[in-house]
Amino acid sequence: MNTCSNCGITLEGGKFCGKCGTPVAEGVTGISEITQEAKPVLANDGGYVQVTHDPAKPNAVKEATSHYFNFIKDIWTQPTKAARSADESLLMNGVISVVLYALMFPLILYVGMRSVLGTMGVLGEFAGAAVPLGKMFLQPFLYFTLFLAIVSVIMFGLIKLSNSNITYKKVVTLFGIYLIAPAIILVLSLLSLLVNIYSLFTIFLILGFLGLFASIAFSFQTLNRDYTGGLDPQYSTFLTYIGIGIVIWLFAESQFISNLRQFYEEMNYLM
C-alpha cells in the first residue's frame, strides 16, 4: 500500500491525495495510471476529489451540431434518396428539425410584433418591451411544438391502418427530414422581416406554412412506397389534413389565442 508523502494517509489510486490534494509522485507502484489530464478539486466535505478530462474526447455539443449540419446538407442535396434510406438512428436529427420548424413561427410572430410597434411609433423606445416574451413567443412555441407532436401521432395512427410495421420513431424521423426545407424557408422569411422586405417575408411565410402540408404528403408517400393494402396513402394524407383542421380549431379556443386577442385589443387602445 502507498501513503501520501504529506499527510500520511493510505492512497487508493489517482494522481492526487484525496485528503490534502498533494500530487502523487510519478512512477509510484500500486497507483492506477491515468491517461487523462487530472487535477484536484476541493469537495464539500473539505477533502479533495480527482477530476479528469480526456483531451482526446470530442465536445459532445460540437459533434452533435456538426453531425446535424452534415445531415441537413445530405437532405438538401438529395432529400428523396436520403429520406428513403433514413432509419431510426436519425431520430434525434428528425426531432431537432421538428423543433426548429416549431420555433420559427413564434419567433417570426415575436419579431414581427416588435417591428410593427417600432415602425408605427407606438410607445416609442418601449415598443419592444410592450411585446411580452412569454405570451408572444414561449407560449406559441410550446403550443406549436405540441401541435406538431399531435400531427405526428395522427400520422402514425393512419400508417398503422395501412397494415404497416412502421414505428413511431420512423414516422418522426421522416417527418423531421421533410420539414427541413420548410424550416429553412421560414428562416428566409425571418431574415426578410428583419431587413424590412415585407413582400418576400409574406411569400416565404406562406411557403413555409404550406411546406408543412407537403411534408405530410411526402412522408406518407415514402412510408408507404411498398403499399400493398390497407388505407391508401392519399386518404391518409387527407385524413391528416382534416385532423390538423380539428386540432387548429381546438387550439383556437386555447389560452394563447385569448392572450393574443387581448394583446391586440391593448395595442388598438394605445393607438
Q: How far apart are CA 234 and CA 236, in angstroms?
A: 5
Are the C-beta atoms of residues 72 and 180 closer than 8 Å to each other? yes
Q: Which of 1, 23, 22, 21 is nearest to 11 (CA)?
A: 1
Residue 116 has a pLDDT of: 67
Q: How confident is the prediction along the chain (271 residues), in pLDDT tens digits per residue? A: 577 777 777 776 666 676 666 776 544 444 444 444 455 544 455 454 555 555 545 566 677 777 778 878 777 777 777 777 877 788 888 899 999 999 999 899 888 877 766 655 544 444 445 566 777 788 889 889 999 999 999 999 988 887 678 889 989 999 998 999 999 999 999 999 989 898 999 999 999 999 999 999 999 888 877 666 778 888 889 999 999 999 888 877 665 556 656 655 555 544 5
- The H or E element spanning position 41 is strand 37-42
**Domain regions of the chain by residue span:** 1-57, 60-270
Residue 99 has a pLDDT of: 94
CA 228 to mean position of chain CA atoms: 35
Cα-flanking dihedrals φ and ψ of residue 122, to 5°? -70, 125
b vs e for 200-229, b when ≥16 Cβ sit within 10 Å of the residue's Cβ?
ebeebbebbeebbeebbbbbbbbbbeebee
Count CA atoms within 13 Å of residue 151 on its CB side. Answer: 28
Residue 26 has a pLDDT of: 46
Q: How far apart are CA 48 and CA 67, in angstroms?
A: 37
Give the count of beta carbons closer than 10 Å to the beta carbon of residue 158: 24
Q: At which residue does the C-alpha cell 417591428 appear?
A: 115
Q: Is 174 exposed, middle or buried (0-12, 13-18, 19+ CB in 10 A)?
A: buried
